[in-house]
Amino acid sequence: MPRKWTEDEILDIAKGYQKAVLLFAAADLDIFTALSKKPMTAEALSAELDTDYRAASILLDALVALELLTKQNAKYSVTPTAADLLCQTKPQSVLPMVRHQANCLRRWVQLPQITKSGKPAEPSPSICGEAADNAAFIGAMENFSRPVVAQIVEKLQPLSFRHLLDIGAASGTWTIAFLNAHPKASATLFDLPDVIPMAKKRIDQAQLSDRVKFVPGDFYSDDLPPGADFVWLSAIAHQNSRSQNRELFAKICRALKPQGTLVIRDIVMENSRTQPPTGALFAVNMLVATQGGGTYTFEEYRADLLDAGFNDITLIARDEFMDSLIHAKKP
């Protein structure tokens, strides 16, 4: 039976952007990090962050209303739990993800024009700048992966490999997890040149540098490093059209050793393309952000992997969002 909507429910959706935009503005301005150091008046914070005083006062009071900040004697402080999650210096900070979602919003608001033209959104950097936006994206990938990495690696056991190729490895979260689970294995981390320094820093911190080779490159234009018997492709396939995926899968097949394994971690849609709902919404995210990306069914993945030369293709885990797992073998 079709859902029966009320006026209030429709308007709640229409006004849903307001709280998000308040959070995004505070994240881009780094208000939470500044206030975690000491309580400040609106005037003092405005001077430190180089903002308009009136605008800062209104924003700060709204953040108090959302209970992200507190206000006492005209001084603002960040609440303890908000500080843990939204300050740059905290180990469990999700600030990169919040900033990444702000960047997504700048594309989503162009959806009517995108639907008319079929072209992705015009770039619109944040006040932090393009380099910081790219860093936020890499940090967001770590935020996404951190809560699930252990259980995903466990789901793949028993997994036997000697050398891992981690494609689009971002900050190295998955490389670290796989190498920790397989102490005798080594890895090649492959990503764009400006990402490699971020990955090196994380790998160094994990004390795994002697087991990891870093190869800068672009999988759209460059060949993949050969010699791996296990390739990990995490949250990459949705960025591509199916033809781009077939080309990438063929490159992976050529780079893999015979009998090597490819595992894809991504969204897998039902044939209706309306389930899971998070996948249907994520397809919109790919519409506004990429030339041809989307979310795909297992049957589509299977056909494209067969075309690229793989066999023994199985869906080994299904998830509501990004953590479905597809396993394929090179003959």
Q: Which two tokens stand for residue 329?
A: 């073998």
If asked whether residues 53 and 122 sit together in one domain, one would say: no
If asked whether residues 284 and 157 sit together in one domain, one would say: yes
Distances (CA, A) of 122 to 98, 108, 129, 331: 20, 11, 15, 43
The tally of domains found in the chain comes to: 3
Average pLDDT score, the chain: 96
Provide the pLDDT for residue 244. Answer: 98
Tell me the C-alpha distance between 323 and 316, whole Å: 11
pLDDT tens per residue across span 82-108: 999 999 999 899 999 999 999 999 999
| Stretches in the chain below the pLDDT threshold 50 | none
Provide the pLDDT for residue 116. Answer: 97
Provide the pLDDT for residue 144. Answer: 83
CATH classification at residue 36: 1.10.10.10
If asked whether residues 171 and 257 sit together in one domain, one would say: yes
Provide the pLDDT for residue 119. Answer: 97
pLDDT tens per residue across span 175-191: 999 999 999 999 999 99
Residue 99 lies in a domain: no
Provide the pLDDT for residue 289. Answer: 97
Q: Which helix (H) or strand (E) holds 231?
A: strand 228-234
Residue 175 lies in a domain: yes
